[in-house]
A and B are shown apart, each in its own frame.
Chain A
């Protein structure tokens, strides 16, 4: 019985390790965003808006930030951030919000973007 459970235990430990690695990777990936964005709504003067409480937040709605016309239009349409939209935006911002001011985040793998999206939506 114990021998039969061994593969499951090893598999479980592997999953746990992968989750831990993902958890560690996401903040490292977010470092690449920190030249323009903060998770602190009180931090003013960044080139981009803060990313706190992003899950379900309306596009273009960080208080006090001067958004592009494209994001103002997205807000007027009632668009909100969810996982699918955020993943698309991280892959190609202009595809999701044409004419927005953010450049494509460079050098992120599909896994990086997934980890980053999950991380940001939990903040």
Chain B
């Protein structure tokens, strides 16, 4: 249950990071010339509030990695339904399936978890013997309804939700598979943090096409496709955001503002604006590919550590894993 809710507002035009501005008080309203509203929601019952996704009915799924639960938070009522996932659970990623359920990479039990969206019943699909401690990371559904997922211990997996059949593939270069995304054209891509690459999966054969970003040792952490099937990459080591156009095979890259940025996550909204998180500045950062400008939304608490973002039309969401809060940034369309 939500104990209190803060509304804060922060925006910066960030050609120079020292121009960060923020209002002293919460408003919850747009201010003249400012199209963003930032709202923080306390969710103390979700320890280590991590990956989030839209549940499709106005609520938000959120992984409680530190206390082994999945939360379902309703911003209209500030109520959170808490769903225990089992002994030793440590959920990392969550995606809404074609069946409406939440599908979770449940690293603590080395399993994929399905949480029914109506009954909240939990069903586990364990990884096979010999694939212990896979360090499960991110799930994505392909267009055929198969669930793909990454494990940082060097695996990519595929689960048929109907039959429960699971296949595990060894990833190129071993340890490292992290974020994963599906393009509008149906391709599945993932990033390898330790492998310093992104790769497309042949969903029929389970083989991989590796693509090396131009910056050596960049630490490709998460990926997200835009509406044109360009793959956006958050680069942890280099502090950049980069994009790969698979049609032309070309790359573009931009360093985030500030000193020694650490780009953790990337999410692309339905207007093709790119949302990033920078651990060095303790900020969510919005990048507009058209103007090539950054806006920064530093948290009002230290060590916020937003490790993933997702959203729905007009709203970008993230979990502040270091503060047990959710953050929502609304983009208000001009009247």
Q: Interface code A69-100, partner B: CB below 8 Å = 1, 0 otherwise?
A: 11000000000000000000000101000111
The reply to whether A106 and B135 contact each other, CB–CB distance below 8 Å, is yes
Q: Quick check: which of B53-61, B74-82, B299-307 contacts chain A, the rest being far away? A: B299-307
The reply to whether A98 and B303 contact each other, CB–CB distance below 8 Å, is yes
Determine whether B17 belongs to the interface, using a CB cutoff of 8 Å to chain A.
Answer: no
The reply to whether A34 and B65 contact each other, CB–CB distance below 8 Å, is no
A29 to B132, CA, bound (A): 9
The reply to whether A104 and B66 contact each other, CB–CB distance below 8 Å, is yes
Determine whether A36 belongs to the interface, using a CB cutoff of 8 Å to chain B.
Answer: yes
Number of interface residues of A (CB under 8 A): 28
Q: A-side binding surface: helix, strand, loop or mixed?
A: loop
Interface size grouping (class) on chain B: 35 or more
Return the contact of A45 from the options B136, B219, B322 (Cβ within 8 A): B219
| Minimum distance in angstroms from B29 CB to a CB of chain A | 30
| Minimum distance in angstroms from A117 CB to a CB of chain B | 16
Determine whether A20 belongs to the interface, using a CB cutoff of 8 Å to chain B.
Answer: no
Known contacts A31-B153, A104-B90, A106-B107; A36/B194 CB under 8 A:
yes
Determine whether A101 belongs to the interface, using a CB cutoff of 8 Å to chain B.
Answer: yes
Determine whether B134 belongs to the interface, using a CB cutoff of 8 Å to chain A.
Answer: yes
Tell which of A66, A94, A103 has the most Cβ of chain B within 10 Å: A103
Closest A residue by C-beta to B237: A45
Q: Which residues of A contact B307 (CB under 8 A)?
A: 103
Determine whether A46 belongs to the interface, using a CB cutoff of 8 Å to chain B.
Answer: yes
Q: Interface code A1-39, partner B: CB below 8 Å = 1, 0 otherwise?
A: 000000000000000000000000000010110111000
Known contacts A31-B133, A31-B153, A106-B90; A47/B303 CB under 8 A:
no
Determine whether B108 belongs to the interface, using a CB cutoff of 8 Å to chain A.
Answer: yes
Closest A residue by C-beta to B307: A103
Q: Interface code B129-143, partner A: CB below 8 Å = 1, 0 otherwise?
A: 000111110000000
Q: Interface code B296-333, partner A: CB below 8 Å = 1, 0 otherwise?
A: 00000011010100000000000001100000000000
Q: Which residues of B contact A123 (CB under 8 A)?
A: none
Q: Which residues of B contact A109 (CB under 8 A)?
A: 88
A108 to B136, CA, bound (A): 12
Determine whether A64 belongs to the interface, using a CB cutoff of 8 Å to chain B.
Answer: no
The reply to whether B65 and A104 contact each other, CB–CB distance below 8 Å, is yes
Known contacts A32-B133, A66-B262; A104/B48 CB under 8 A:
yes
Q: Which residues of B contact A36 (CB under 8 A)?
A: 152, 193-194
The reply to whether B237 and A101 contact each other, CB–CB distance below 8 Å, is no
Tell which of A32, A44, A46, A70 has the most Cβ of chain B within 10 Å: A32
Determine whether B206 belongs to the interface, using a CB cutoff of 8 Å to chain A.
Answer: no
Known contacts A66-B260, A69-B302, A94-B66; A35/B132 CB under 8 A:
no
The reply to whether A107 and B303 contact each other, CB–CB distance below 8 Å, is no
Q: Which residues of B contact A92 (CB under 8 A)?
A: 66
The reply to whether A68 and B279 contact each other, CB–CB distance below 8 Å, is yes
Tell which of B65, B110, B135, B196 has the most Cβ of chain A within 10 Å: B135
The reply to whether B175 and A35 contact each other, CB–CB distance below 8 Å, is yes
Return the contact of B193 from the options A29, A35, A104 (Cβ within 8 A): A35
Return the contact of B194 from the options A47, A69, A104 (Cβ within 8 A): A47
Closest A residue by C-beta to B322: A99
Q: Which residues of A contact B66 (CB under 8 A)?
A: 92, 94, 104
Determine whether B71 belongs to the interface, using a CB cutoff of 8 Å to chain A.
Answer: no
The reply to whether A34 and B48 contact each other, CB–CB distance below 8 Å, is no
A45 to B262, CA, bound (A): 13
Interface residues of B in 268-312 (CB under 8 A from A): 279-280, 282, 302-303, 305, 307
- Chain A to chain B contacts (Cβ below 8 Å), 16 pairs: A32-B152, A35-B135, A35-B154, A36-B193, A45-B217, A45-B219, A68-B279, A94-B48, A101-B262, A101-B305, A103-B50, A103-B92, A104-B66, A104-B90, A106-B92, A109-B88
Q: A interface vs B, CB < 8 Å?
A: 29, 31-32, 34-36, 44-47, 66, 68-70, 92, 94, 98-101, 103-109, 112
